[in-house]
């Protein structure tokens, strides 16, 4: 966690220690030519002889210098033309918000798509929370999110840190007036200058809503189709209204529910989650993650269908990790695979296999957690910095979550049968998932070799638009990038 800076008694700013000096700048032409020919004048990226302590001290000095520059810039009057507006002071804040991600291409800004950050930053600029001169780039206000969310994923609580103009007491209402109803800003608190929503977040809590009919035994017609029709000729079947009604009326048995709880409980603790994210950029050195807990609720009936609420708290998560964790347990429950299979996927020497990611529809970010920062923020001067918590807004958040997230998830599933389409896709195209068997044995056919040309693809021309998300899981291992 980055070093905390005392706001009342900042450390004296030292001149940053230069890692190297440009030797050719003042050299004679002959010396410069010789240095260029021998390669001695080539600028290096850093001094490899430095120790870790040296680099930490150098980073701390630069951080203090940057903070001091920010303070001086805020307090120093700017030379301006007659037509320019007076400069308003900015303060570093933690902005708390929530959103329904159905109509968005994820949280992170993308010039070619509609994203949460894109709409939020535009609203901040239009409401006067970001000055006109800083409205051209989020980097100018150092905007940083606590957690990334994928396309279609929701958030009841999300935190964004940035430098914002906060002198207007109605700024939150003005920002919300510029936003669509699917994005709401709950409020903000002042934080220390070194606060970064991503690096100072201790852990994240996610929730996943799951209809229990996905835990039913495999469809015999789908299994027969997969066994008798060549891969390229298969088509995803459409579930008729009568069969879909029977699925909605399914109720999970106590024995199967206990298996689900036991399976999710195995995620607790520290594990190597290489098999629960994308292949590219993931190694055993960066795939260890710690899960604090994983809870499964009692079944609840919503609009005639039975649902489970899955909640997980983890230190951090990799790309698609939660959706793959849920996807594995669904397939294991349907096929009767033993729990020992999960142990085989966690080991350092475990083979790489493709775990299908469950639909994004049911996933939402409950809240990022800042316990470490809050324990120190309590010691700061009152009125200058405050703990980062959603407690003051919890009633409003619960109302928003019910109306714009829970209801949207249920409504979309009832209309589009998203989970049924996902189940059909993994049953009709099971070639990558042969490790899901009652023996818990991982066959050679299920092992993914990074860089190999072997991959399974859907005939996308025959996949309906509603099932496109399910088809993406087939290409995920080699086509996606990590965050």
Q: State both tokens at 24.
A: 């050719």
Burial tier of 406 (Cβ tally within 10 Å: 0-12, 13-18, 19+):
buried
For residues 243 and 290, is the Cβ–Cβ distance under 8 A?
Answer: no
DSSP letter string over 297-314?
PPPEEETTEEEEEEEEEE
Helices (H), 76-219: 116-127, 171-178
Helices (H), 1-51: 29-38
Give which of 160, 271, 198, 287 is closest to 1, Cα–Cα. Answer: 198
Helices (H), 179-281: 220-228, 241-248, 254-265
For residue 414, the surrounding DSSP H or E stretch is helix 407-416
Task: Give the residue carrying structure tokens 């399976």.
Answer: 263
Length of the chain, in residues:
483
According to DSSP, the residues that pair with 95 across neighbouring strands are 160, 188
For residues 239 and 417, is the Cβ–Cβ distance under 8 A?
Answer: yes
Whole-angstrom Cα distance, residue 69 to residue 60?
14
Q: Which residues are catalytic?
A: 150
């Amino acid at each position: 966690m980055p070093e905390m800076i005392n706001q009342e008694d900042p450390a004296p700013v030292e001149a940053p220690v230069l890692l190297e000096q440009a030797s050719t700048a003042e050299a004679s032409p002959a010396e410069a030519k010789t240095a260029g020919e021998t390669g001695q004048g080539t600028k290096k990226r850093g001094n490899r002889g430095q120790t870790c302590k040296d680099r930490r001290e150098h980073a701390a000095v630069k951080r203090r210098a940057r903070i001091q520059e920010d303070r001086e810039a805020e307090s120093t009057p700017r030379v301006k033309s007659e037509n320019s507006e007076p400069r308003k002071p900015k303060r570093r804040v933690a902005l708390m918000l929530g959103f329904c991600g159905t109509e968005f291409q994820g949280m992170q800004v993308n010039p070619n798509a509609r994203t949460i950050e894109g709409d939020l930053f535009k609203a901040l600029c239009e409401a006067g929370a970001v000055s006109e001169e800083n409205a051209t780039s989020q980097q100018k206000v150092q905007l940083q999110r606590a957690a990334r969310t994928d396309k279609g994923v929701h958030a009841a609580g999300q935190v964004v840190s940035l430098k914002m103009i906060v002198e207007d007491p109605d700024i939150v209402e003005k920002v919300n007036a510029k936003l669509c109803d699917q994005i709401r800003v709950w409020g903000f608190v002042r934080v220390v200058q070194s606060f970064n929503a991503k690096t100072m977040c201790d852990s994240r809590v996610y929730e996943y809503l799951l209809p229990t009919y996905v835990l039913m035994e495999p469809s015999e017609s789908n299994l027969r189709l997969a066994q008798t029709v060549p891969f390229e000729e298969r088509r995803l079947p459409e579930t008729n209204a009568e069969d879909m009604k029977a699925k909605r009326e399914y109720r999970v048995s106590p024995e199967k529910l206990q298996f689900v709880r036991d399976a999710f409980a195995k995620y607790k603790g520290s594990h190597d989650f290489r098999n629960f994210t994308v292949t590219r950029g993931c190694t055993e050195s960066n795939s260890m993650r710690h899960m604090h807990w994983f809870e499964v609720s009692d079944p609840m009936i919503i609009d005639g269908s039975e649902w489970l609420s899955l909640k997980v708290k983890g230190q951090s998560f990799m790309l698609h990790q939660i959706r793959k964790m849920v996807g594995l347990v669904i397939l294991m429950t349907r096929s009767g695979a033993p729990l020992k299979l999960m142990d085989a996927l966690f080991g350092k020497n475990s083979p790489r296999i493709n775990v299908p990611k469950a639909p994004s529809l049911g996933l939402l970010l409950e809240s990022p957690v800042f316990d470490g920062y809050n324990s120190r923020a309590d010691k700061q001067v009152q009125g200058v910095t405050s703990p980062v918590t959603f407690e003051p807004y919890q009633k409003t958040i619960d109302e928003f979550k019910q109306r714009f997230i829970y209801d949207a998830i249920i409504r979309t599933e009832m209309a589009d049968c998203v989970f049924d389409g996902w189940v059909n896709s993994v049953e009709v195209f099971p070639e990558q998932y042969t490790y899901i068997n009652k023996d818990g044995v991982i066959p050679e056919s299920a092992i993914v070799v990074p860089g190999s040309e072997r991959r399974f693809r859907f005939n996308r021309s025959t996949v309906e638009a509603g099932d496109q998300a399910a088809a993406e899981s087939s290409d995920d291992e080699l086509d996606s990038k990590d965050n």
